[in-house]
Amino acid sequence: MKDYDFIIVGSGIAGLYTALLARQQGEVLVLTKASIDECNTKYAQGGIAAAVGRGDSPELHYRDTIAAGAGLCDSEAVRILTQEAPDRITDLIKFGVPFDTLNGEIALAREAAHSVPRILHAGGDATGERIEVTLSNAVRRSGIKLLEHCLASDLLVKDGAVHGVRAFDSRYGVTEEFLGRCVILATGGAAQLFKYNTNPEIATGDGVALAYKAGAEIADMEFVQFHPTALRLPGVAPFLISEAVRGEGGILRNVENGAFMAEYCPQADLAPRDIVARSIVAEMRKTHADRVFLDITHLPPRTIPARFPQIYRFCLDHGLDITKTPVPVAPAAHYVMGGVKTNVWGETNIAGLFACGECACTGVHGANRLASNSLLEVLVFSKRILERAKGQRPSTSSGQRRGRPASVTPRSGEACELEEREPSGNVPPLSLSALQPLMWEKVGILRSREGLEEAAITLATWERSLGLPTGRPSYELNHMVLVGRLMAEAALLREESRGAHFRFDFSSPSPAWLKHIVFRKGASEG
């Protein structure tokens, strides 16, 4: 059987960018469970944050990121993120990503909780698509081995080190094993667990589930970011209406036409995401409505199609001319801050296993991600993985790579086990259409002990009933149940409100909770 230097799981920005860098160090295999370009990356709208503009600096970007993270960012990781950002943008430009320009300079947009315009974008609001196409073309040209429709189902781990991946090829219905000295998880997010979400179908948390099953540490799973403004039209999946629309002057109004954000926060429509999402929910409750409106009808009509061509076209295709009519919106699950815990080199506690992108928890986002920091996080930490991997041999007996890496960032919080729960006889049969509303209602924007316990018991009962997967949907559903458990149990443990995690029964932040919740299978055995 062939032995690869790098097995990369996923083909969003994290998988593709890492693959292109890894190719310079050895043989690379990319496994991806759908077609190469089906991923969250393709749908990114706003852009990438980096301090490249006049009047901006890594220090300012650092401060904004730390402020958004509500006390839980890893300051070393944020320092690295913000300092290395301009160089990584240069790398992306060298790969050919066509960022938009204005008067011969990179155009920079404003998004919520950034103190200056700092967001690079491409094709107006088609940033993710431009990146994905550029990188996937480069991978296709590079000779990197790529297996599409191949879903990683397990990590092969022996003596504390990873040595390969088991995968299910959904075209032929067969399971195969691939061997490699480094395995890099780049499997993206998990917002598909929630009834209303902005993510494509692939976002089912697989990497977190694989890593947890293999004994990796999983951190911060209670922190799920709900984007304030997803299109809310009957029969239409929630399509993202970028925060950059508010950056251009969009105003949120309730169904009675009242602009309300200034009542909730001095930054009004440009307040941090978690605050805007909760304020919208409060306004919807107050007005007995399932939506509010994002009003851009006061902007010059030509600005909108030029600056937001995808959003404009999508809405127009659904009968809404947003230059004339306010857009009906409501919050939707968007991004998972938690994930496979890594140090600032992308290393996990399993030798040879790395994670990057949305499935990783590098510590840069803390309790609430600053808009447009996630694409940036991928670039910065993927590069560092390859720097770390340089020269490392495939040996599983290398003392340096065994167990916990020496450079793990000291983020407090000992790993603990998932709570054992008695199964309940009063639980509906498991299906995606049962899981998504449960997560939305009980583990969603506003949480309480009662609801979280109900979710935790239901998920634990489902977990016990899981059969052997037979195809991609059942592999994914099994992963979603485990990831849902990690989210619900972490949210139950965190008896406070902080960043994106809000509990009615503990509605303020508590200094006692300035720490991370980390789960690891077998933690109680030491």
User: Could you list the residues that contact ligand FAD (CB under 6 A)?
Assistant: 9-15, 31-34, 38-41, 43-48, 127-128, 151-152, 186-189, 198-199, 202-203, 206, 240, 335, 357-358, 372-375, 378
> How far is the C-alpha of 518 from the C-alpha of 317, rounded, in Å?
44
- Binds 299: which of ligand SIN, ligand FAD, none (CB < 5-8 Å by kind): none
The CB-of-121 to ligand FAD minimum distance in angstroms stands at: 8
Which residue number has the CB closest to ligand FAD?
12
Nearest CB to ligand FAD, comparing residues 41 and 458: 41
* Binder of residue 198, out of ligand SIN, ligand FAD, none (CB less than 5 to 8 A by kind): ligand FAD
Distance between CA 38 and CA 135 in Å, rounded? 13
Q: What is the 3-state secondary structure (H, E, C) of 439-508?
A: HHHHCCCCECHHHHHHHHHHHHHHHHHCCCCCCHHHHHHHHHHHHHHHHHHHHHHCCCCECCECECCECC
SS3 (DSSP) at 438: helix
Among ligand FAD, ligand SIN, none, what binds residue 401 when CB lies within 5 to 8 Å by partner kind? none
Q: Which is nearer to ligand SIN, 248 or 463 (CB)?
A: 248
| Neighbouring C-alpha atoms within 13 Å toward the C-beta of 403 | 4
Catalytic: 273?
yes
Q: Look at residue 389 and give the partner it binds from ligand SIN, ligand FAD, none, a contact being a CB closer than 5 to 8 Å depending on partner kind.
A: none
Quickly tell me which residue has 């498991």 as its tokens: 430
Q: How far is the CB of 139 from ligand FAD (least distance, A)?
A: 11
Q: How many CA atoms lie within 13 A of 73 on its CB side?
A: 23
**Which one of ligand SIN, ligand FAD, none is in contact with 34 (Cβ closer than 5 to 8 A by kind)?**
ligand FAD
Pick what 451 binds: ligand FAD, ligand SIN, none; C-beta below 5 to 8 Å, kind-dependent. Answer: none
What is the SS3 string spanning 185-239? ECCCCCHHHCCCECCCCCCCCHHHHHHHHHCCCEECCCCEEEEEEEECECCECCC
Q: Which is nearer to ligand FAD, 238 or 405 (CB)?
A: 238
Gap between the Cα atoms of 77 and 82, Å rounded: 9
CB closer to ligand FAD out of 481 and 492: 481
Give the angle 135-315-279 at the CA atoms, nearest 5°: 95
Binding footprint of ligand SIN on the chain (CB under 6 A): 45-46, 242-244, 335, 371-372, 374
Question: What 3-state class would DSSP assign to 157?
Answer: strand
CB of 424 to ligand SIN, least distance (A): 36
Nearer to ligand FAD by Cβ, of 456 and 480: the residue is: 480
Q: Which residue among the candidates 118, 232, 273, 401 is catalytic per the annotation? A: 273
3-state secondary structure at position 168: strand
CB neighbour burial string for 93-114, b if at least 16 within 10 angstroms, e if fewer: eeeebebbeeeeeebbbbbbbb
Q: How far is the CB of 455 from ligand SIN (least distance, A)?
A: 25
- Least separation in angstroms between residue 168's CB and ligand FAD is 8
Q: Which is nearer to ligand SIN, 44 or 167 (CB)?
A: 44
Please report how close the Cβ of residue 353 comes to ligand FAD at its closest, in angstroms: 14
Token readout for 390 is 């340089």
CB-CB contact of 211 with 353 (8 Å)? yes
What residues are labeled active site? Answer: 273
